[in-house]
């Protein structure tokens, strides 16, 4: 393959092949790392965020529920009003998580819609409970809480748990994909590195033999010529520098043979007088 190519070109081609293989390995590794980075970004911006926001919504819901129950049991009107305000603040925090969950959730979006629908269904009962509590109609307020409001809160909590579980499963899948990408990148780099090493050794041996063998043959031919053996044969033929040197030496041997034959003829004629 390299026989008629110059030695310098052989070396450059060999190193070029090895460099190309290493570049391929680097590109594949960078691509895999980019995929891992994308997975990590999605993990944080989507699944992790959804899990945190769902947890915040459930925490705020439980805090509001506790404040409502406490306001019903509270006998002091000022304290009751303060507890109602705290419940309203917690419920506002809970509602604030829903747009983020809807935007970042990568599961069945119908779950988010169901949570929002349950919330809308619960708002009239919430307002009635607050009104009854402010009017000191605690028994009616407690009955409405237990029969109507709490079941809706429990339903909301169950839906939020489903959303968290789905986000958790998505996160686990992304982690597994990330591990697969990392393993693939390592495997590809190792394989390409191994192939590069084997190829480098093989090319090195091939090129070394391609240089050493003709040099040895030419060295022997030069020694034969210096010893006066003009019957030596140079078999190496190539288009590279050593091939041209072999051609020159063959031409030199042929010229020397011609000169010696011609000189012998002249001497023989002279001897005849």
Residues 6+ apart with CB under 8 A from 10: 2, 207, 210, 240
Find the mean pLDDT for residues 75-101: 91
Cβ-contact 57, 101 below 8 angstroms: yes
Distance CA 106, CA 198 (A): 46
Distance CA 191, CA 185 (A): 10
- pTM for the full model? 0.63
Confidence of residue 13 (pLDDT cuts 50, 70, 90): confident
When pLDDT is cut at 50, 70 and 90, the band that residue 21 belongs to is: confident
Q: How many CB atoms neighbour CB 247 within 10 A? A: 15
- Tens digit of pLDDT for each residue in 184-239? 777 877 887 788 788 777 777 777 777 778 778 778 878 877 777 777 777 777 77
Q: How far apart are CA 217 and CA 246, in angstroms?
A: 9
């Amino acid at each position: 393959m390299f026989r008629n190519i110059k030695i310098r070109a052989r070396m450059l081609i060999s190193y070029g092949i090895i460099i190309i293989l290493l570049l391929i390995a680097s590109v594949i590794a960078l691509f895999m790392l980019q995929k891992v980075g994308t997975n990590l970004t999605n993990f944080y911006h989507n699944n992790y965020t959804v899990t945190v926001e769902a947890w915040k919504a459930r925490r705020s819901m439980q805090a509001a529920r506790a404040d409502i129950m406490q306001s019903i049991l509270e006998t002091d009107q000022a304290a009751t009003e303060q507890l109602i305000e705290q419940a309203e603040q917690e419920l506002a925090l809970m509602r604030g998580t829903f747009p983020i969950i809807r935007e970042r959730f990568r599961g069945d979006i119908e779950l988010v819609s169901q949570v929002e629908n349950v919330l809308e269904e619960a708002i009239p009962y919430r307002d009635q409970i607050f009104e009854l509590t402010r009017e000191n109609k605690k028994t009616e307020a407690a009955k409405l809480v237990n029969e109507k409001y709490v079941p809706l809160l429990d339903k909301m909590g169950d839906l939020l748990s489903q959303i968290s579980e789905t986000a958790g499963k998505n996160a686990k899948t992304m982690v597994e994909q990330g591990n697969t990408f990392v393993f693939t990148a390592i495997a590809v780099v190792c394989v390409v590195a191994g192939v590069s090493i084997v190829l480098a050794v093989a090319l090195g041996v091939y090129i070394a033999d391609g240089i050493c063998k003709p040099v040895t043959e030419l060295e022997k031919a030069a020694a034969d010529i210096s010893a006066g053996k003009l019957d030596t044969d140079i078999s190496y033929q190539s288009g590279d520098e050593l091939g041209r040197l072999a051609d020159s030496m063959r031409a030199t041997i042929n010229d020397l043979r011609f000169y010696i034959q011609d000189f012998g003829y002249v001497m023989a004629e002279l001897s005849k007088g």
